[in-house]
Amino acid sequence: MDACNHGDVASATWHSWHSIQWPAGHGVVRRLQTRIAKAARECDWRKVKRLQKLLTRSTSSKAVAVRRVTENQGRKTPGVDGATWSTPDAKWRAVCSLHARHYRPQPLRRVHIPKANGGKRPLGIPTMRDRAMQALYLLALEPVAETTADSNSYGFRPERSTVDAIEQCFNALRRKDSAQWILEGDIKGCFDNIAHDWMLRRIPIDRAVLRKWLKAGYVEKGRLFPTEAGTPQGGIISPTLANMVLDGLEPVLATRFKRQHKVHFVRYADDFVVTGRSQELLEREVIPVIENFLAERGLRLSPSKTKITHIADGFDFLGWNVRKYGNKLLIKPAKGNEKQLYRKVRDILRKLRMAKQEDVIRLLNPLLRGWGNYHSSQTSSRAFAKMDHRIFGGLQRWVKRRHPTKNKRWLKRRYYSSAPNRDWVFASGMEALVRLSDFKIRRHVKIKAEANPFDPTWDEYFEIRLGWKMRRTLAGRRKLSWLWTKQDGRCPQCRQPITNKSGWHLHHKVWRCHGGSDKLSNLELVHENCHRQKHSLGRKHARPPVS
């Protein structure tokens, strides 16, 4: 048996990256995660620890961890060592090198990214090996985190999103007799100030490895700085660690306050809202309870961002404005979010003053589609029409700047076309700019609070939700929708679900260079890594060109 192949039977025949049998590997990981979640529900922490050790030593888990960090958006961003795993050989060597014994993480590379309020957020970038080790231990920690998490925590958790959080706000505030006062909470420097001692005592993970991550330090401008508190923002495991630190606040509030107090809690990462019957209740009773809870973990509320508002005045949460007009609760895109979108559109138009029209459309469409899809579950029709009008004005100025001597009729013929029930379509050939008003408003069905993706009893529920989400995503793309349905929503290579997060590639069963066509019978949807694996294995048995 190869030196790398130990820990599970599924990996016994693997000898390279493209020889990995992903269905078997994912099956091993899934079964162990299910057993960990069950042990956590039964509070059998000794068994949890034993199963976690088994999972982190499994070659299947190591392969899944390496695949995760080499397929995400940051795969091309190196750490302090400048290394990226871009080849199959490098990935296979990485699988063989993931061992806890003698493991010593390297410092993080510190960069600063802009925040919405104009400030900058520090971000630590680990090396690829440290990312893979974090992904490996995350596979063992996530089943515990999901089993013990607060019911109404929605940030950085599988199968949950901002839309679920805002729907819970709607449920808590929509009735005539619902709470009228809202505490908007924000934790000051959450990721940077969490007490290390608390995490080492309470987080159910290998303490030696966790301590090494927490004390690794960071490098900025060529200098090494130690880390005495916090979990580095940028590591793949950091959001889960932060969630586990904050979990427990909802049960504390539920125990402390009775139903007549109308206290409801909704959290997304370190941003949360708490409803209450009165302003005095929130100020004198709720805030002290939250402050005591956070103080134990080395955290405190941000005075500048924590405030109490009446529902008639409304509040902003996750890019939406929640406000009651009389007895009717409406959730709309926040004004700041609208300004942020238009600022991005304006910046793109300024940078592309002399670019081709199709280049402008190609850059604007993903931005507009993302914003439209994000807000399409709420009362956004007026905001969509308003943004269309502002974007149209920006495009008019962009066109006029290029041709200051041409009249309006000439500009319309050059840059615009007509469509059924619509004129002035900014289009070039077959490419047309997305119009936000074309997005249909469709209500989102909130995830059930107790749903756990690591509990087999919820498998059917999550499959139904995945089908519902993907049908909405692929609406209007008949070819992709038909293929996804035919494949039962799974990649034929690794048998894992094809989702928005995982992405997909179109694969030709008979390659086009060998005469393959674009007919549906010759196509299948696969993951990016699975696509590369198919082509790598296919080259060894390549069909001769059609004569």
Domain ranges across the chain: 9-107+121-146, 149-194+229-333, 335-438, 457-541
Is 318 a residue whose pLDDT tops 80? yes
**pLDDT recorded at residue 384:** 97
The mean per-residue pLDDT over the stretch 235-247 comes to 94
In the 8-state DSSP scheme, what is residue 512?
A: G
Alpha-carbon torsion angle 64, 161, 148, 289, nearest 10? 140
Average pLDDT, the chain: 90
pLDDT at 1: 41
Banded pLDDT at 301 (limits 50, 70, 90): very high
Q: How far apart are CA 470 and CA 504, in angstroms?
A: 12
Residue 431, pLDDT > 80, answer: yes
Which strands make up the sheet holding 320-325, listed edge to edge?
Answer: 315-317, 320-325, 328-333
Helix ranges restricted to H, 215-278:
238-246, 249-256
Residues of the chain above pLDDT 70, percent: 95
Spatial contact of 424 and 392, defined as CB atoms under 8 Å apart = yes
Query: Which tokens go with 239?
Result: 């959001």
Whole-angstrom distance, CA of residue 378 vs CA of residue 439? 11
Token duo for residue 321:
């404005």
> pLDDT band for position 116 (50/70/90)?
low
Q: Phi and psi (nearest 5°) for 153?
A: -105, 130
* pLDDT over threshold 60, residue 547: no
pTM beyond 0.75, yes or no: yes
Is 105 in contact with 212 (CB distance < 8 Å)?
yes
Classify the C-alpha dihedral 142-147-149-152 as positive or negative. Answer: positive
- The pLDDT assigned to 7 comes to 54
Half-sphere exposure of 143 (CA within 13 A, CB side): 28
The CA angle 105-110-114, to the nearest 5 degrees, is 145
Superfamily of domain 149-194+229-333: Reverse transcriptase/Diguanylate cyclase domain (3.30.70.270)
pLDDT score for 112: 83
pLDDT at 545 over 50: no
Alpha-carbon dihedral 11, 530, 52, 209, rounded to 10 degrees: 110
Answer CATH for 457-541 from 3.40.1130, 3.40.1800, 3.40.720, 1.10.3470: 3.40.1800
Q: Is the pLDDT of residue 544 over 50?
A: no
Enter the tokens of residue 30: 């899934």
**In degrees rounded to 5, what are phi and psi of residue 460?**
-65, -40
Mean pLDDT of 180-190: 91
Give, as one character, the DSSP assignment of residue 132. H
Q: What would the pLDDT profile of 45-62 be if each residue is shown by its tens digit?
A: 999 999 999 999 999 999
pLDDT attached to residue 541: 46
Q: For residue 236, give the nearest of 141, 374, 164 by alpha carbon.
A: 141
Give residue 300's identity as a one-letter amino acid code.
Answer: R
Instruction: Report pLDDT for 356.
Output: 93
CA 471 – CA 465 distance, rounded (Å): 10
Q: How confident is the model at residue 4 (pLDDT cuts 50, 70, 90)?
A: low
Q: Are 397 and 352 in contact (CB under 8 A)?
A: no
φ and ψ of 450, to 5 deg: -90, 0
Q: 419: pLDDT confidence band, cut at 50, 70 and 90?
A: confident
Quote the percentage of the chain above a pLDDT of 90.
66
Contact 236/246 with Cβ under 8 angstroms? Answer: no
Residues linked to residue 220 through DSSP beta bridges, in sequence order: 223
Pick the more confident residue, 124 or 58: 58
Where do runs of H (alpha helix) occur along 247-319?
249-256, 279-281, 287-295
Dihedral class, residue 432 (left if φ above 0, else alpha if ψ from -120 to 50, else beta): beta
Of 521 and 409, the structure prediction assigns the larger pLDDT to 409
The three-class DSSP label of residue 286 is helix
Average of pLDDT values for 385-405?
Answer: 95
Is residue 389 over pLDDT 80?
yes
- Position 542 scores a pLDDT of 45
Q: How would residue 540 be classed by pLDDT, with cut points 50, 70 and 90?
A: low
Model confidence at 468: pLDDT above 90:
no
pLDDT of residue 304: 85
| Helix, strand or coil, per DSSP, at residue 230 | coil
Calculate helix-pair angle for 128-148, 238-246, nearest 10 degrees: 30
> Is residue 338 scored above 90 in pLDDT?
yes
Say whether pLDDT at 309 is over 90: yes
Per-residue buried b or exposed e for 291-301, using 16+ beta carbons within 10 Å of the residue's own CB? eeebeebbbbb
Q: What is the pLDDT of residue 543?
A: 47
**Spatial separation of the C-alpha atoms in residues 464 and 448, rounded to whole Å:** 13
